[in-house]
Amino acid sequence: MSAVIAKQLGKVYQRYQRPVDSLKEWVLRRKYHEEFWALQEVSFHCEPGEVFGVVGDNGAGKSTLLKILAGTLKPTHGELIVNGRVSAILELGSGFHPEYTGLENIKLGCAMLGLNEQQTLAKIPEIIDFSELGDFIKQPVKSYSSGMFVRLAFAVVTSVDPDVLVVDEALSVGDQHFQKKSMDRMMAFKDQGKSLLFCSHSLYHVKELCERAIWLDKGIVRMQGKSSEVIDFYNDHVRQQNRVSVAVSSTVSSATIKPVPVSEDNGSLTAHLTEASLLDVNFDTHGRPLYRTGERFALKVLASVQASLAIDDVHIGIIIKRNDGVQCFGVSTVLDDKVLFHISGREFGVVYEIPHLTLLSGVYSLEIWLIDATSAHVYDSIQSCCEFRVSQPGTEVGVTYFEHSWLAP
Amino acid sequence: MFETVKQLAGYAHALRLLVERDLSSRYKGTMFGLLWLILQPLLMVVVYSFVFSVIMKVRIPGAVDNPYHFAVYLMAAMMPFMAFQDAITAASSALFVNAALLQKSTIPPLLLPLVPILSTVVTELIALLIIIIATWVLLDQVSVYLWILPLLIVVRLMISLGLGYIIAILSVFIQDLRQALGLLLTILMFLTPIVYPVEMVPPEFLGWNDINPFYHLLDAYRSVILRGELPGEGFYWVLLFAFCLLGFGIAFFQKTIIRAKDFV
């Protein structure tokens, strides 16, 4: 039996010019609002003992979804089935009354979650202890710092022994010590066969904690599946948005450039790139070249060179860029002191091979330069071509995998 | 309505906590604390007795000839009406004050106006007790129908709740209502024979009195406490009014709270 089943959940918000319009609409049965879909056709399920992640940009509908899961918001469409007691931390302070003291909020929180007086009294010492609030427990929570707030909220919602725990963003507010403590507690929950629905901007956490994840984009499910895959794709999307806007002169998504018609040899000192193609590649489901970290990477680059040019004055430079514009590695035949190989006629070329591609998960593309021996003159260049994906087996973070070892000190 | 009550029963414990808290918070930081619950009505009885009985020497024609009669007569209707006034005023801000709970917790919204309105029952009970003692001490009377008082309190509560639920919602949508509410309640107080006996009302206005449920309800309080009589026939009208108002209030609140939620 699934702990949580969401069937085509949808939430429409009505936007009114003035509050009273909403009332008028109810009385007069005439439309006074503009509709705004915060969530549309969201379906998923979460099994007992599973940690389920929710990622997405701001305004993608994450909070709306979690509020629906927590029961504070009713979906306008679809159905939500939850088996067991749900306990939730939504945003900051979820359901705390700012004027009440910490202790009063604990009592109220426990009562709301269905605990009776004896059960509540039994839990209080544990909650105060876990929250580490000490004497502050007798102060109104409006005087709390955000860290104290979240400590108390987390202590309450996890102490009532929920079957499903919904955690929004909140945890990032606590200090390192508390984050560790809360993470341990969440893991303990998971081990007890309870379900966790988890939303965080810390993609690392989502990737580490969750088996499966859902990526929401403007209220709809952009992707759903194994969390590492979802996060990789989401990361690409984030980088894409953050990219330093590089002048994209010619984006060539296919691996081959159309050969430039070679003009008559008029004695000018010119050269053109004619082909750049990835060799021996696999493709992902989207038809995009896909490499696993550590695999061989090979690129063939061909150029047409006017006879009047000396071949040792034509060189190729290749830069691997991630889709946020970060240059991961760039090198040229000038730097390595190599010359191009003669193919046929005026065509010259080279195969650029990386025996073990150590890049980590991401979307990358190539920048190819045709330059002279001084590296100063550019005959031709392509700013972005041969886009490819890399997928890593592990959950290491960063751009590239370094050979390393852990030694006894 | 039955469904609603059943749903609320699950929150009885939470409700008790909230009412206790509501009462204690009102007197938080004061020197006398909860003692104010007794001090307030007690001081009012003393002041009213002094002003109306010692200084103004007001007498109601045809009533018991006792200098303190008018003071007690006034209080017996004034105290329940003040409880009603408090209830409506508290209900008008209940959704705003508890916005955090309303939007971010699973608390049934019906509880939010219910809590401060239930608190007024406690203050009313204490006030009535003091009036009963005053009647006994000052007028040397103890009514045999005091056991009916709980019923009157329940009816007063039902009317407060019915209207309170409507006001709670309307205050969200109509900002001016909270400003006008105090004035409207004062007008209602003077349109109802509370500070003056019904005998002083000119005959051409008696028709309004006949349909004014507050007159019949408050008169029932006077009958039961002061006159030692059962409430008059008008009380059936009050009962009907209370049931209808409460039913309508709850239905209206439940229908519109989803809309109101977004604007507090």
The residues near A258 (Cβ < 8 Å, ≥ 6 apart) are: none
User: What is the distance in angstroms between the Cα of B99 and the nearest Cα belonging to chain A?
Assistant: 8
Asked if A209 and A108 sit in the same domain, the reply is yes
3-class DSSP assignment, residue A277 = strand
CB B172, CB B140: distance < 8 Å: no
Which residues are within 8 A (CB) of A353 and not within 5 positions of it... i.e. 6 or more apart?
A296, A297, A298, A299
Q: What CATH number is given to the structural domain containing A357? A: 2.70.50.60
Contacts B258 to A, Cβ<8 Å: 74
Calculate the dihedral angle through the C-alpha atoms of A314, A315, A321, A325, rounding to the nearest 10 degrees.
-50
pLDDT, tens digit, for every residue of A139-198?
988 898 888 888 888 888 888 888 898 888 766 667 778 878 888 888 888 888 899 998
Q: Residue A254 and residue B13: Cα distance in Å, rounded?
A: 67
* Model confidence at B195: pLDDT above 70: yes
pLDDT in the model for residue B32:
78
Least confident residue range of A266-270, B168-172, B179-183: A266-270
Same-domain status, A179 and A299 = no
Give yes or no: residues A138 and A213 share one domain.
Answer: yes
In a domain, A171, yes or no: yes
Interface of A with B in 92-131 (CB under 8 A): 93-100, 104, 107-109, 111-112, 114, 116-117
Looking at residues B182-207, what average pLDDT do you find? 90
pLDDT exceeds 50 at position B259:
yes
Q: Which of A23, A107, A108 sits opposite B259 (nearest CB)?
A: A23
H or E element, residue B171:
helix B149-173
A-chain residues near B255 (CB < 8 A):
26
pLDDT, position A377: 81
Bridge partners, A190 (sequence order): none
Cα B244–chain centre separation = 17
- Whether A245 has a pLDDT exceeding 60, the answer reads no
A182 with A308, same domain?
A: no
Distances (CA, A) of B162 to B109, B110, B156: 15, 11, 10
Q: What confidence tens digit (pLDDT) does each residue in A8-38 have?
A: 999 988 888 888 888 888 888 888 888 889 9
Q: Which of A74-78, A249-253, A314-318 has the lowest mean pLDDT?
A: A249-253
Mean pLDDT of chain B: 89
Q: What percentage of chain A exceeds 70 in pLDDT?
A: 91
- pLDDT at A7 > cutoff 60: yes
Q: How far apart (Å, rounded) are the C-alpha atoms in residues A168 and B163?
A: 38
For chain A, the domain total comes to: 2
Q: Is pLDDT at A97 greater than 70 in this prediction? A: yes
The answer to whether A6 and A66 are in contact (CB under 8 A) is no
DSSP three-state, residue B100: helix
**pLDDT of res. A19:** 83
The Cα-based distances of A378 to A374, B7, B20 in angstroms read 10, 77, 81
- Is position A407 within any domain? no
Most confident residue range from A320-324, A350-354, B107-111:
A350-354
Contact A95 B100 (CB under 8 A): yes
The DSSP code sequence of B128-157 is HHHHHHHHHHHH----TTGGGHHHHHHHHH
Cα three-residue angle A84-A88-A90, rounded to 5 degrees: 155
Amino acid at B243: F
Residues A47 and A139 both lie in one domain: yes
pLDDT greater at residue A380 or residue A402: A402
Q: Which pLDDT band, with edges at 50, 70 and 90, does A267 fall under?
A: low
Mean pLDDT of all residues in A319-333: 91
Give per-residue pLDDT as tens, B54-75: 888 888 777 777 888 888 888 9
Most confidently predicted of B10-19, B138-147, B216-225: B216-225
For residues B101 and B28, the model is more confident at B101
Range of the domain at A342: 251-391
Using a CB–CB cutoff of 8 Å, tell me whether A394 touches chain B: no
Model confidence pLDDT, tens digit, residues A207-243:
878 889 999 999 999 999 998 889 888 888 887 776 5
- The string of pLDDT tens digits covering residues B74-91 is 899 999 999 999 999 999
Alpha-carbon distance values, A222 to A3, A28, A208, B8 (Å): 23, 38, 20, 40
Contact B105 A99 (CB under 8 A): no
pLDDT at A261 over 70: no
Distance CA A380, CA A306 (A): 13
Q: pLDDT value at position B56? A: 85
Q: Which residues of B touch A (CB under 8 A)?
A: 10-11, 13-14, 17-18, 21, 25, 97-98, 100-101, 103-107, 170, 172-175, 255-256, 258-260, 262-263
The CATH number that applies at residue A127 is 3.40.50.300
| Whole-number Å distance between alpha carbons of A16 and A32 | 7
pLDDT band at A91 (very low <50, low <70, confident <90, very high): low
Radius of gyration of chain B (CA): 19
Residues A130 and A179 reside in one and the same domain:
yes
User: For residue A255, what pLDDT is reported?
Assistant: 45
Mean pLDDT of B20-31: 80
- If asked whether residues A194 and A289 sit together in one domain, one would say no
User: Is residue A146 a part of any domain in this protein?
Assistant: yes
Supply the pLDDT for residue A263.
Answer: 46
Per-residue tokens: A222: 């952009």
Residue of A43, A359, A62, A72 lying closest to A232 (CA atoms): A359
pLDDT at A313: 87
Burial B250-264 (b: 16+ CB within 10 A, else e): bebbbebbebbbebb
A143 located within any domain: yes
Taking CA–CA distances from A157, the nearest residue in chain B reads B105
Nearest of A219, A189, A240, A236 to residue A54 by alpha carbon: A219
pLDDT given at position B124: 94
Report DSSP letters for B8-69, one per residue.
HHTTHHHHHHHHHHHHHHHTTT-SSGGGHHHHHHHHHHHHHIIIIIIIS----TTS---TTH
Residue A409 lies in a domain: no
A22 interfacial to chain B (CB closer than 8 Å):
yes
**Is the model's pLDDT at B119 over the cut of 90?**
yes
Cβ pair A331, A317 in contact under 8 A: yes
Q: Report how far residue B108's alpha carbon sits from residue B111's, in angstroms, rounded to the nearest whole number.
A: 6
Whether pTM exceeds 0.80: no
Domain residue ranges in chain B: 2-261
Helix (H) or strand (E) holding A378: strand A378-391
Contact B17 A108 (CB under 8 A): yes
Given a cut of 60, whether residue A259 has pLDDT beyond it is no
Complex ipTM: 0.74
Q: Which residues of chain A does B106 touch, with a Cβ-Cβ cutoff of 8 Å?
A: 70-72, 95, 112
Is the domain of A47 the same as that of A70?
A: yes
Nearest chain A residue (CA) to B109: A72
Q: In whole numbers, what is the pLDDT of chain A averaged over residues?
A: 84
- The verdict on A178 and A210 lying in the same domain is yes
Q: Please state whether beta strands A4-15 and A77-82 pair in parallel, antiparallel, or not at all (unpaired).
A: antiparallel
> What is the chain A residue with the closest CA to B8?
A112
User: Above 60 in pLDDT, residue B214?
Assistant: yes
d(CA A112, CA A128): 18
